[in-house]
Amino acid sequence: MEKRIIPITIGNDKLRLIISEIIGSNNIYGNLEFQLTNKKDLSTNNESILITDDEFAVKELPQAIKFDTIFIINCNGDAFDFNKLKSKIVLLSIPLQIRDLYKSVSNSLNHINSQIARKLNFKRFTYDPSMRTLYSDNLYLRFTEKESQIFNSLLDNSNTHISKRNLLQEVWSYNQDIDTHTLETHIYSLRKKIEKKLLLKDLIIFQDNKGYFLNKKIL
């Protein structure tokens, strides 16, 4: 079986030497091979996982954003805003055991492969329900949990309209303390976010006496 090359890009020179020694004599597990990679080579790497350190992550967020999962070694959680990354973040610490690293990466790859099957590909955009993200090559939006529930309900009913009452029931589970004003406020905010982040107008349409409709043809 052909090995998958997992890139490791380290910003700290001392840590890079340590990682080089760790993987140098222990890089023989399963179908994975860990490989130290320069920043300039990341753009040509097709893997879905990156192993790095906080020094690189802080400085090179644009390079890191294409990866589904990023393992960060010796990470200072206050050093940068995780929300800038659409990737899943896994924190690692030194001393680093190669067997543990292999197991974690293998588990992440299995999870990624299972989630890929759940992604919905439209003409221009891709929706990933597990990550609550809607994105294209250069546009990206991450929904809040409630926004994701609203979008999922609209998507499930995208061949027809869904009434305010039914949408409230699906998203808020018959909570009698929630009224249509709450729904309208969430929809308004979601529309604004979609227009700002994805440059899409009229994705969520409302029609009197019918309800809300998801205009999938513009996706």
> What is the pLDDT at residue 177?
63
Q: Where would I find the H helices in the chain?
A: 13-24, 54-59, 61-64, 98-116, 145-156, 164-172, 180-198
Between residues 80 and 184, which one has the greater pLDDT?
Answer: 184
Q: Where residue 1 falls among pLDDT bands split at 50, 70, 90? A: very low
Strands 126-128 and 120-121: antiparallel
The answer to whether the CB of 64 falls within 8 A of the CB of 52 is yes
The answer to whether residue 211 scores a pLDDT higher than 80 is yes
**For range 71-84, the mean pLDDT:** 64
The answer to whether residue 47 scores a pLDDT higher than 50 is yes
Q: Where residue 191 falls among pLDDT bands split at 50, 70, 90? A: very high
The answer to whether residue 196 scores a pLDDT higher than 80 is yes
**For range 11-37, the mean pLDDT:** 77
Domains assigned to the chain: 4-116 (3.40.50), 126-218 (1.10.10.10)
pLDDT tens, residue by residue, 154-185: 988 878 898 888 888 888 875 556 678 888 99
The pTM assigned to this predicted structure is: 0.50
pLDDT tens, residue by residue, 95-134: 777 778 888 888 877 776 666 567 888 999 999 887 788 9
Q: What angle do CA 142, 66, 152 make, to 5 degrees?
A: 30
The whole-chain average pLDDT of the chain stands at: 80
The answer to whether residue 5 scores a pLDDT higher than 90 is no
Per 3-state DSSP, the chain is made up of helix, strand and coil in percentages (nearest 5) of 40, 20, 35
> What is the pLDDT at residue 46?
65
Lowest mean pLDDT among 1-10, 54-63, 77-86: 77-86
> What is the pLDDT at residue 194?
95
